[in-house]
Each structure stands twice: as structure tokens, then as C-alpha cells.
Amino acid sequence: EPEVTQTPSHQVTQMGQEVILRCVPISNHLYFYWYRQILGQKVEFLVSFYNNEISEKSEIFDDQFSVERPDGSNFTLKIRSTKLEDSAMYFCASSFGTVGNQPQHFGDGTRLSIL
Amino acid sequence: KQEVTQIPAALSVPEGENLVLNCSFTDSAIYNLQWFRQDPGKGLTSLLLIQSSQREQTSGRLNASLDKSSGRSTLYIAASQPGDSATYLCAVLSRGDTGRRALTFGSGTRLQVQP
């Protein structure tokens, strides 16, 4: 069964550095998402992306964050100047559509640790 | 603002028991509801998706019901097995008062099935 893949599985970065998290969504999916889960807390929506632009974003997704689909397969999340509170598990997801019968499929996540 | 609550937070049962996990949400204007399984350090595996027009969905030993008007869903697991041990997350896709279509997650129920 096709799956969403994320790399790296664990990223350790110094505070203030830029980090790029990478995702390969399921190939025929059209909608892409990033979520994060701070340790011990709920999974939170960050951003959704369709047709090469952001369709929705949450209050968390401020100017420090950006997303890109640089080619036909990758979907990236960039954090420009990382803060300690950016430490979390970041999940990428994709779906074929956004109507009620289209589930979102998630990757295994990237654990981001900011030192 | 959409809020999703899951009860109980943790559950420990002997193998073979049937069990029910509960999910409630505050805004009944949802597109769908998804149940996920999350293993420690792993991503989210979609188990069942119920569209807003549906009352229930079944997959193997799992059955999920939806009562949209009362803002409730239950996940029924029949004949539980040690391999069912995981955290079960409920998430609703809705637009909410921000106008943003996004998945809102509950905190999860941590299930342990004793052999």
C-alpha cells in the first residue's frame, strides 16, 4: 500500500538555525498537510497546500515557517530561525481530495530537537 | 472553536475483552471524523473514516459510530488483542469559527491490552 515518507526521522538543530523537513506524499494525492505534536500534547494543524499554494494555515504557522513543493514528488517544511519551542514531532499528511470521504494519510514523522 | 475530547485517557484491559473508546466534539458542523492509531514514536495510521452523512463504519474487529447531532463518536474494538495496544486518536474535519478547514485532534486514549 502506498505511504507517506518523511526524512529525516530525527533532526537535531541549534537554536536560530534553519531546518528543512522533507516529505514524499502518496503519488496521486493532491492535498498536502503539515501537523506538529509537542511531547505530551495534541496533534496540531499547521498548514494545508494545494495547487502549489497554501490553502489554509493555523496561528502557529507564522512568518518563520514556509512550505514548498520544489518538484513533482517532495513537499517541504522550512523553519527559518528555530526556537526551543519548535521542538516537536512534525507529521506530513496527504489526501486525494478534501471532501468528506477522503482520509488523510500520515507519515511516521520527523522528531525535531532544538538545542 | 472546535474542541475534541476523548474519554478515557487511558485504559487497561485483559485480552479478549470488548471495549469502547469515546470521542466528543463541540461543533457538529463537521465534514468527517477519522479514528487513528498511534504507536509510540510512530506516525498516525488511519483506521476508519466516517463521513458526516454516515452513522457508522466497520473494518474487521473495529466499528466506529457517529452521532453528529450530539457531537459524539465511539470506537468499538471487539475481542481485543495485545497487538491492539496503542494510543487511539479521534479527529474531526471541520471549518469552525476561523473559517479554516482543518483536522482537530483529541488527546487520545492510551490502550493497553494485557496478555
Residue A99 has a pLDDT of: 63
Name every chain B residue with its beta carbon within 8 A of the beta carbon of A29: none
Q: Where does residue A61 rank: exposed (0-12), middle (13-18), buried (19+ CB within 10 A)?
A: buried
In angstroms, what is the C-alpha Rg of chain B?
A: 14
Mean pLDDT by 10 residues, chain B (115 residues): 93 96 95 93 90 94 96 97 97 78 92 96
* Contacts across the A-B interface (CB distance below 8 Å): 63
Return the number of other C-beta atoms located less than 10 Å from residue B49's C-beta: 21
Contacting residues of B for A58, CB less than 8 Å apart: 100, 102
Using alpha carbons only, give the angle B28, A90, A44 rounded to the nearest 5 degrees.
Answer: 20
Spatial distance between the Cα atoms of A51 and B74, rounded to a whole number of angstroms: 35
Contact between A104 and B45 using a beta-carbon 8 Å cutoff: no
Per-residue model confidence as pLDDT tens digits over A36-68: 999 989 999 999 999 899 988 988 999 999 999
Is the pLDDT at A100 greater than 70? The verdict is no
pLDDT at residue number B97: 61
What per-residue confidence (pLDDT) applies to B10? Answer: 96
Residue A28 or B66, more confident: B66
Hey, what's the cell of A70? Answer: 520544489
